[in-house]
Amino acid sequence: MGNSSALALPLAKAAVRALETVMITVRIFLKLSPDTRIGLGKIQLLEAIETAGSISAAARTLKMSFRRAWELLDHMNKAFGRPVVTGHPGSAGGTELTGLGRDVVRRYRRIEAETQALAAPHLAALDACRLAEKESGGAS
């Protein structure tokens, strides 16, 4: 897996460049159970907690209620059977990602980058077809 790590960043950059001009996109979610998915919103919540150091600050950043943020975290905790974040009781508050939480973010972002890189030429081709159809006035 050593070489694939070295490839991930160039692939991610290539995907971003390719997608800057493509209007069709791929959206990734991981289905953990029939009732639980992890998508961009939950990943952004975990990233915001890592940055802000608290659930409430992360929720404010993402313009969601604390209750909603906690529900999303609770769903992930239950799906994995262990916590994705941990608090610091007795201190001035604060929350940080557990090793599992950091791993979830890292792996999701890697899956996202690699998928985008693989999909980019196909999305560009489909987008070109869509744009050609618009330019021709829809006549087939």
How far is 17 from 108, CA to CA, in rounded Å? Answer: 20
Domains and CATH numbers, the chain: 10-125 (1.10.10.10)
Is-contact 84 50, C-beta < 8 A?
Answer: no
The model's pTM is: 0.74
User: What DSSP designation does 97 have?
Assistant: E
84 against 91, higher pLDDT: 84
- Report residue 127's pLDDT band, with 50, 70 and 90 as the boundaries: confident
